[in-house]
A and B are shown apart, each in its own frame.
Chain A
Amino acid sequence: MKKIFLFLLVFAFEKVFAQELFVFTEPASNMAAKSLGIRLNNYWMKEKADNKTNYHLLPELMIGISKKVMLHGEIFLSNRNDKFVAEGGSLYLKYRFFSIDDVHSHFRLAALGRYSYNNSSIHQQAIDLFGHNSGYEAGLVATKLINKVAMSAGLSYLHATDNGVEKFIYSNKERNAVYYTLSFGKLMLPKEYTSYNQTNVNLMFEMIGQTNIGNNKTYLDLAPSLQFIFNSRMRFDLGYRFPVVNALSRTADRGAVIKFEYNIFNAF
């Protein structure tokens, strides 16, 4: 644990350019108004019980409605229940309501909300609105870019509803959870920016946790990732998440992520 903190300290105070385009979380900053983003989220999660790997594909459309508001829509596809099928979808809205900007730095706050629908069976205590549970999320995220290092912290309230006809199988109190994230990002390459065509390589380190309000159980995951940005408009992310605290049950608690994103500026 000490080593982790030391790593984070070194990470936070090294004077390098940073990125906040995190792989496992969203920053308080929004995409440009009138721009569109298309993202393909791929997750390969290891099932604990039978060692099978579940594949989740979440195509995502992102819309910059205005300079302060953006909307994401996702479709959930997975082979978790043997056949590769669509299981639902989600809408995510983010509103940036506070911003102090200076050259090469900023502090921003945003409020976010998510509604998810999922018709797959409920199979774990942990609430996951990104491909497992129906329900909603309301939260806040703060992002700071200081000394050219990006850090972001998020705090949300999660509420799970029934998954369509699939009832929520735990107690009513366990429908509610607190979700928290902490992210760090650092630009490794290029050493110096000269053009939009340079490939950017970012190293990210994130912590993702959840505490269920009904049973007080927690999980905490560490999630390192590597990100490539091509032509200042295409993103390719490689990540892995694994638990360090694992009391809140999940059937598949570790796995790899690959994301591909393409941005269209001045789209409408």
Chain B
Amino acid sequence: MKQLILVVAVLITTTLNAQITKATLQASGLTCSMCSNAIYKSLKSVEFVEKVEANIKNSSFELSFKPGSKVDIDQLKEKVEDAGFFVASLTALVELDKITLSNDTHVDIGGSTFHFLNIKDQVADGVIKLKILDKGYVTAKAFKQNSKYTTMECYKTGKASSCCAKGGLTEGSRIYHVTI
């Protein structure tokens, strides 16, 4: 039993080693400070968010996450939309410990699946910046343009389809499409 607990503990620590620590989010559809404040309050209410710093002029928000917490990127998007606006761009800072990243493949980072597009194959060590490319995180035009980087079905929906099942992903599970 002790051994099992140890294994689980090691596993959890390994996952936490690759944690999303910060994110920069730019919102679209607003200019006024009252609108910005609505987004700010909405983002502040997210459980895993530790700190939000707003730049009202640029409609952007610097987010820090609580150490050890699982960051649900989609929840951030929902919170911006709840405030009545949309996400124009979102980049996340992730700490990686010698993880191999290959173009057009899926990688598990911090408990979430990421699909890397338009990158050079590399071993990532240290902090890297991921830009989310999914629908609702970029302009409709950019989303269309980026479709040339993959033929996989999951790009269209952001969810695992039959194409991704080979990697052991359950159909319908969330895949974040990102670039560096």
Contact = CB atoms under 8 A, between A and B. Distances in A.
Interface of A: 17-21, 29-35, 64, 66-67, 96, 99, 101-106, 145, 148, 187, 192-196, 198, 200, 229, 232-233, 235, 263, 265-266
Interface residues of B, number: 30
A102 B138 CA distance: 10
B43 to A, nearest CB: 10
Q: What's the dominant secondary structure at chain A's contact region?
A: loop
B32 A196 contact: no
Given A32-B83, A34-B82, A196-B54, A232 B29 contact: no
A237 to B, nearest CB: 13
A101 B28 contact: yes
Nearest to B85: A101
Nearest to A29: B84
Contacts of B130: none
Nearest to B55: A193
A96 B30 CA distance: 15
A14 to B, nearest CB: 14
B122 interface: no
A29 B85 CA distance: 9
Contacts, number: 102
A24 B57 CA distance: 27
A29 B82 CA distance: 12
B157 interface: no
Contacts of A145: 29-31
Contact of B82 (A33, A105, A200): A33
A194 B29 contact: no
A263 B85 CA distance: 17
A148 B31 contact: yes
B29 A265 contact: no
B15 interface: no
25 contacts: A17-B31, A31-B38, A31-B84, A32-B39, A32-B42, A33-B42, A35-B41, A67-B81, A101-B85, A104-B28, A104-B30, A104-B31, A105-B28, A105-B29, A106-B30, A193-B33, A194-B57, A196-B37, A196-B54, A200-B33, A232-B33, A232-B37, A233-B37, A235-B34, A265-B37
B86 interface: yes
A231 B5 CA distance: 50
Interface in B19-49: 26-34, 36-42, 44-45
